[in-house]
Amino acid sequence: MPISQETLETAIRQAIPVTYLEITDTSNGCGENYSVVVVSEAFEGKTTLARHRFINELLKNEIALMHAFSQVGMSR
């Protein structure tokens, strides 16, 4: 079952304050592969691994329905 870009955006924006968010469907529109760049003050003081774990936990239900997911999380 494909995931929409809007579903991902809503889940992220409802969970953390977002300074910048870029979501790219890397599966040519089928909604099975996404790349996400998130900039948020929620990531301040967290390691890269902690940021990835945070996003993975936040989107665990959506990621479970995808074929591939990549992310970059940065503090502002």
What tokens does 17 get?
């304050």
What tokens does 60 get?
């665990």
Work out the percent of the chain whose per-residue pLDDT is above 90. Answer: 66
Asked if residue 30 lies in contact with residue 5, where contact means CB atoms within 8 angstroms, the answer is no
Mean pLDDT within 48-65: 92
Res. 2 pLDDT band, cuts 50 70 90: confident
Provide the number of structural domains found in the chain. 1
* Domain membership of residue 51 as a residue range: 5-74
Give residue 10's pLDDT: 96
Instruction: Give pTM, 2 decimals.
Output: 0.86
CATH of residue 51's domain is: 3.30.300.90
Tell whether the model's pLDDT for residue 1 goes beyond 70: no
Phi (first) and psi of residue 5, to 5 degrees: -60, -35
Q: For residues 66 and 3, what is the distance between their CA atoms, to the nearest angstrom?
A: 7
What tokens does 72 get?
């970059």
